[in-house]
Amino acid sequence: MLTELLPGAVLRRLLQGCLPALLCLAIPPSTAQDLDNGEQLFRTLCARCHGILGEGGEGPSLKRARLDHAPDDETLLSVISAGIPGTGMPGARQLSGGDARDVAAYVRSLGQLPEEPVPGDALAGQQIYETIGNCASCHIANGVGTGIGPELTDVGLRRNAAYLRQSVLSPDADQPRVVDRFRGTLNAFLTVRIVTERGAYEGMRINEDAFSVQMRDITGRIYSFEKADLISYEKAFGHSFMPGYSAALNEQQTDDLVSYLMSLKGENR
């Protein structure tokens, strides 16, 4: 039936089955065949967000020796099967115990690869962020700025460099998503255009259900509409309120800015 969740219980059993043997690891030493299976599953289930080579994208690069949400094998298995609540990491609940372990082993093997160098100079990037970019007028990072777009305090943990480059140069290309295991996934920051008898409104969707829509406009003001009152309601997929910076920044400046964004790893949290 698989109504959806695959259970912590299965994982725990696997873990506990190991208890008598002191040297037994949650992710047992894997064979080449396990790694192949892990890679195959990774490509099917994870690559669309973490890249076909684990280099990242919408999700962070996994070519890192230390994963913040998965410091040990048990948390890695739990992240893989249950996801990270409240973020864009959904988890793959359908993976069976053995398959989850193979994927975990593959993720760990990615961690042994050299991290991708981020071109550019983070300090110079910070300058651009604060001056030409005027990024703080729409983003909060480490407590500073205005929250129109997503908080960037730990964006270097959540995304990879290529994705951040694209976010800066062509923001229309993709919008962040928020995964809620029970309430369903929402494309947050989706541009919506709403007309009621009182006027026309444009902003970013914060939340929506069958009866109402919550929206934030570019000034940060929050609105709540009853769908029954709407004259029209447009979801403008592929439109972002963030300006594209491809004209404003040269190649070097873009590298620097991306380098700065990649250095934002949430240390203040």
Partner 1 sequence: MRQGSPTVSFLSLFIISFFVGTELLADTSYQALLADEENGADWLSYSGGYRSHRFSPLNQVTPENVNQLKVLWAYQMQPTGINGAGLQETTPLVADDIMYLTESPSSVTALDARTGRMLWHFVPDISNEVLNIGFPRINRGVALVDGSVYVATLDGRLFALDAGTGAVRWQTRVADNAVGFSLTLAPLALDGKIIVGVSGAEAGVRGFVDAYDANSGNRLWRTFTVPAPGEPGSETWQGDAWQTGGGSTWLTGSFDPELDLLYWTTGNPAPDWNGDLRPGDNLFTCSVLALNPDTGELRWHFQYTPHDTHDWDANQIPVLVDGEFNGQQRRLLALANRNAFYYLLDRETGEFLLGEEYSYQTWAERIGDDGRPIVLANTDPTREGNVVWPSLQGATNWFSPSYNPRTEQFFVSNRRMGAMYFKADVDYEPGTPFLGGGEQAFDGDNASGAIVALDVMSGARQWEFELQTPPWSGVMATGGGLVFGSSNEGNFFALDARDGQALWNFNTGAHIRTNPMGFAVDGKQRIAILGGQTLFVFGLE
Binding site for partner 1 (CB under 8 A): 1-10, 12-13, 16, 37, 40-41, 44-45, 48, 90, 92, 94-99, 177, 179, 182-187, 190, 208-211, 228, 235, 237
Q: Which stretch binds ligand HEC (CB under 6 A): 3-11, 206-214, 228-236, 238-246?
A: 238-246
Q: Write the CB contacts of 216 (distance below 8 Å, at least 6 apart in sequence).
A: 148, 203, 204, 206, 222, 223
d(CA 36, CA 64): 20
Choose the contact partner of 259 out of partner 1, ligand HEC, none; CB within 5 to 8 A by kind: none
* Alpha carbon distance 197, 154 (integer Å): 41
Stretch 121-160: interaction string toward ligand HEC, x if CB under 6 A: --------x---xxx-xxx--------xxx----x-xxx-
| Residue 46: partners with Cβ closer than 8 Å, 6 or more residues away | 59, 92, 103
- Tokens 């890249």 found at: 51
> Minimum Å distance from CB 11 to ligand HEC?
14
Supply the angle between the helices 161-169 and 251-263 in degrees, to the nearest 10: 120
Q: What is the 3-state secondary structure (H, E, C) of 63-80?
A: CCCCCCCCCCHHHHHHHH
The residue assigned the tokens 């970013």 is 204
- By C-beta, is 6 or 15 nearer to ligand HEC? 6
DSSP H/E element including 223: strand 222-226
Does 27 bind ligand HEC (CB under 6 A)? Our answer is no
Distance CA(186)–CA(176), nearest Å, equals: 9
Residue with structure tokens 């053995």? 98
Residue 3 phi/psi, 5-degree rounding, is -70, -30
Which of 49, 161, 192, 213 is close enough to bind ligand HEC by CB under 6 A?
Answer: 49
Residue 164 Cβ, how far from partner 1 at the closest point, in Å? Answer: 21
- Within positions 58 to 77, which residues make up the interface with ligand HEC, using CB under 6 A? 58-60, 62, 67-70, 76
CB nearer ligand HEC, residue 173 or residue 231: 173
118 binds, among ligand HEC, partner 1, none (CB under 5 to 8 A by kind): none
Q: Quick one: 31 or 96, whose CB is closer to partner 1?
A: 96
Nearer to ligand HEC by C-beta: 44 or 226?
44
Helix or strand (DSSP H, E) at 192:
strand 191-196
The nearest distance, CB 54 to partner 1, in angstroms, is: 17
With tokens 């960037």, the residue in question is 152
**Binding residues for ligand HEC (CB under 6 A):** 45-46, 48-50, 58-60, 62, 67-70, 76, 79-80, 84, 87-90, 92, 103, 107, 129, 133-135, 137-139, 148-150, 155, 157-159, 164, 167-168, 171, 175-176, 189, 204, 240-243, 245, 257, 261
